[in-house]
A = this chain, B = another copy of it.
Amino acid sequence: QGSVQLTGLVDVYAGSMKAPGDASRTAVLGSGGLTTSWFGFTGTEDLGGGLKAGFALTSFMRADTGAPGRFNGDPFFSRDANVSLSGGFGTVRLGRWMAPNFLPSVLANPLGDSFTFSPLIVHKNVGIRDPLRWAPTTPADTGWSNQIAYSTPDIGGFKANLQYQFGEQAGDNGKKNVGANFFYAGGPLLLTGYYERVQIGNPGQGAYLGTTRKDWMLGAAYDLQAAKPYLSYGQAEDEQLPGKARTLQVGVAVPLGAGKVLASWAKTDLTAGDVNRKTLTVGYDHHLSKRTDVYAMVMNDKITNLSTGNSVGLGIRHRF
């Protein structure tokens, strides 16, 4: 009956991976070298009088094995499951959607939302486990379930989201996640930032974390045509744990031929424990078309007292 878009992205790479502390390299065929693979259904309906209704049902998946979600236990529509009303007042959205931390982090580094090769995203969102060598600094996933989000209209290049996740804790309605982010686009300049205060885990039905975690970041990018530099700084803390995680990231994208040279360096200091992580990625992303690109990435990754990691990947990313 409506106009439904069936859309998505498949990104698969062949790589040789060694995380900090790994005893040996592993040859892999992996999903999501530059962007987490996904597919889904979206649509909007014009209700008249400037009003619009919309929905999004989108799923991350692992295109190397065909498994649904980003990891075992991820809900099927782990990327989006929401319905919205938009108008001159902005947009009100109900359901599962991006967390406040996600889009600012993606826009503030040249490797975007790469959970494999972006130093900023890897520090914030990807654990190294068995044994635990790195815990993500982001409080609770890059998507929130059970969410009401208000998005402002675009006001002279400025937009913001105010986000609230119901904790759904029987007898304790005070438990919740709250956060906000903003985006300013003015000519070549992009400014962005977010703040989160989190008590509920994600994804899934949501369990009380037993603590309160706070996280913020500010980021900027400036398009000089010959190069686009990126900068971000942020800080995360857990009220049950000593110290903070402070992350600085600098990066640059340099147009070259039908693609871009991408480089990004991030350093995270864990102030309690005298541990830091320094990660540098350099690569080239070559566009075969607007929808399809191939890429080669090299990442060097160091954590205090662990053997250095070095990973390389060669992949294809196709949007549909």
Interface residues of A (CB under 8 A from B): 1-2, 4, 6-8, 10-14, 22-29, 31, 39, 41, 43, 45, 47-48, 51, 53-55, 57, 59, 61-68, 75-85, 94-96, 143, 145-148, 165-171, 173, 203-206, 288-289, 291-292, 294, 315-320
Distance to closest chain B CB from A265 (angstroms):
27
Contact A45 B291 (CB under 8 A): yes
- Give the distance in Å from the alpha carbon of A59 to the alpha carbon of B39 in the complex: 13
With known contacts A26-B170, A166-B27, A94–B146 Cβ distance under 8 A: no
Contact A57 B170 (CB under 8 A): no
Contact A94 B23 (CB under 8 A): no
Contact A166 B29 (CB under 8 A): yes
Point out the residues of chain B lying under 8 angstroms from A171, CB to CB.
Answer: 23-24, 26
12 extra interface residue pairs, beta carbon distance < 8 Å, beyond A27-B166, A45-B289: A1-B7, A2-B320, A10-B55, A12-B95, A24-B171, A28-B166, A62-B75, A63-B82, A63-B95, A63-B96, A66-B81, A94-B316
Chain multiplicity (copies) = 3
Of the candidates B27, B78, B83, B320, the one whose C-beta lies within 8 Å of that of A4 is: B320
Point out the residues of chain B lying under 8 angstroms from A53, CB to CB.
Answer: 288-289, 291-292, 316, 318
Distance to closest chain B CB from A176 (angstroms):
9
Contact A81 B63 (CB under 8 A): yes
Point out the residues of chain B lying under 8 angstroms from A143, CB to CB.
Answer: 66
Point out the residues of chain B lying under 8 angstroms from A95, CB to CB.
Answer: 10, 12, 29, 31, 63-64, 66
Point out the residues of chain B lying under 8 angstroms from A319, CB to CB.
Answer: 1-2
Distance to closest chain B CB from A18 (angstroms):
9
Point out the residues of chain B lying under 8 angstroms from A294, CB to CB.
Answer: 85
Point out the residues of chain B lying under 8 angstroms from A315, CB to CB.
Answer: 94
- Give the distance in Å from the alpha carbon of A245 to the alpha carbon of B84 in the complex: 40
Residue of B nearest to A24 (CB): B171
Point out the residues of chain B lying under 8 angstroms from A320, CB to CB.
Answer: 1-2, 4, 41, 43, 45, 55
Contact B148 A14 (CB under 8 A): yes
Point out the residues of chain B lying under 8 angstroms from A96, CB to CB.
Answer: 63-66
Contact A77 B94 (CB under 8 A): no
Point out the residues of chain B lying under 8 angstroms from A65, CB to CB.
Answer: 75, 81, 96, 145-146, 203-206
- Identify 8 residue pairs between A and B in the complex whose beta-carbon atoms are under 8 Å apart, listed by A's number: A4-B320, A8-B57, A45-B292, A53-B291, A59-B66, A64-B146, A65-B81, A66-B96
Of the candidates B76, B168, B206, the one whose C-beta lies within 8 Å of that of A68 is: B76
